[in-house]
Amino acid sequence: MLLIGRLGLAVIFLLAAYGKLRPQNAVPWTLASLKITPATLGLSMTFFAMQVDSYQLLPARMVSPFAHSLPWVELALGVLLLTGFALRYVSLASALLVALFYGVVIRSYALHLAINCGCFGPNEKLDSWTLVRDGCMFALGVAVTIAAFIVHRRSGPALAASPHSEHAT
Amino acid sequence: MMRSFFYNGKNLNRNSLGILAAACAAFLLLFCVAPYVVSAAAQTPAEWERLSAEKSLGNPNAPIKMIVYDDYECPVCGELYEQTLRPLIDDYVASGKVYLIHRDFPLTIHLYSRQAARWVNAAARIGKFEAVERAIFDNQMAWSEYGTENPKGIIKPIVQSALTPAEFKRVERLMQGCESNSQSEIKGCLVDAGIQRDLAEGELLPVRATPTIVISAHGQQYPPMTGAISWPILRQFFDQLLSQK
């Protein structure tokens, strides 16, 4: 269960990172337009910065640094979840990040901000559907974190002492 | 319960794991993959490229084109205009870097937005779009239902203040038959046709809320952005677009 859960969470983070890093000008959509190149990367992240800005949550000077680092954090968490390295801490960090997203989405929905979510790429309206989806992701993050701690505890002190103990999950 | 369903104490329950795997796959398909497919399908029509020269500012051959779907009574549209579009007009539009296209998208939830759009469209027909749009947004709090001043819905004096008497007379003539605050198209109101065309194009996009911004450059169109975007962030995006060949 933990394996499937963490893989699911990893794929979500990887898709979220890819959605922000891929070229945003894919109109009309083609397979070639999904390729990330150094030339498209800067534009994609600045486009994402505009989406972050539309939440009206961060001061203008913080929008760009946040938007330029978030996709890489998501990518790192996705890769770490895939490998299972330091699973307890990585899953905890993932759950906290998803909790942050969930809180921001709830706030925006409550304020009736008619904006795009920007969660998995552009042109994605923030609505009740987003709340349900992010709620599911939050539940998955919490479940994986709890499971990671339980499995670690059950695996015993001998396994816990091993540097590879968390790969065994 | 978890122990009995997934784990019998020694081995993992394969059937339960299969169900869980299928649920995870369905979740990923539904929430992560589906939005890409839906968004791709929604982005195919290129109808929004048609320009309305009467309500556009700048050089039509500018490297960047930006279409803004606005509702004159929407507070966020006012905020976008005052904090982002004004510096954009004064700087990047004036210097020929950006061609700014206004499209009307009056929402039916706003009592006077359609009427404001009629006045602006009438002014646009005599080449006074910029002045009247600015006056309408600058005085949004005076005439809109969210405003702190009374009376609400009285737009005429605001338009009058932005024009010369001769210009205002011409605009008034174009507004004949449009006096009602009706939020739907009025038969006999000449300027309503332009608003209807903008609405139809917006619905094709589709515009889900106002303000909605569509940026295109180097022959490529970016997905619509909804909500207020601050000028420093937008300028950063434009600078990157301009630096590209």
Residue B244: count other Cβ atoms within 10 Å of its Cβ. Answer: 13
A53's tokens = 């800005």
- The structural domains of chain B, with segments of one domain joined by +, span 2-42, 47-243
| pLDDT exceeds cutoff 50 at B187 | yes
Instruction: Return the number of CB contacts < 8 Å for A and B.
Output: 123
- Residue B47: what pLDDT? 32
Rounded to an integer, what distance in angstroms lies between the CA atom of residue A18 and that of residue B214? Answer: 22
Residue B237, chain A, CB below 8 Å: the answer is yes
A16's tokens = 């979220």
To the nearest whole Å, the CA of B176 is away from the closest chain A CA by 35
State the SS3 of chain A.
CHHHHHHHHHHHHHHHHHHHHCCCCCCCCCCHHHCCCHHHHHHHHHHHHHHHHHCCCCCHHHHHHHHHHHHHHHHHHHHHHHHCCCHHHHHHHHHHHHHHHHHHHHHHHHCCCCCECCCCCCCCECCHHHHHHHHHHHHHHHHHHHHHHHHHHHCHHHHHHCCCHHHHC
Mean pLDDT computed over every residue of chain B = 82
Lowest-pLDDT range, A13-27, B106-120, B163-177, B206-220?
A13-27
- Residue B48: what pLDDT? 33
Residue of A nearest to B17 (CA): A1
To the nearest whole Å, the CA of A32 is away from the closest chain B CA by 14
To the nearest whole Å, the CA of B219 is away from the closest chain A CA by 10
For the segment A129-147, the average pLDDT, to the nearest whole number, is 94
Rounded to an integer, what distance in angstroms lies between the CA atom of residue B46 and that of residue B32? Answer: 25
The whole-model pTM stands at: 0.79
* Residues of chain A positioned with their CB less than 8 A from the CB of B105: none
Contact between B39 and B223 under an 8 Å Cβ cutoff? The reply is: yes
- The structural domains of chain A, with segments of one domain joined by +, span 2-158
| pLDDT exceeds cutoff 70 at B148 | no
- What does the pLDDT look like over B12-67, one tens digit per residue? 566 665 655 666 566 555 444 443 333 333 323 343 343 478 899 999 999 999 99
- What does the pLDDT look like over B99-109, one tens digit per residue? 999 999 999 98
CATH architecture of B47-243: 3-Layer(aba) Sandwich (3.40)
For the segment B157-172, the average pLDDT, to the nearest whole number, is 94
- Residue B193: what pLDDT? 84
Rounded to an integer, what distance in angstroms lies between the CA atom of residue B35 and that of residue B28? Answer: 11
Residue of B nearest to A62 (CA): B233
Mean pLDDT computed over every residue of chain A = 87
- What does the pLDDT look like over B77-97, one tens digit per residue? 999 999 999 999 999 999 999
For the segment B210-230, the average pLDDT, to the nearest whole number, is 92
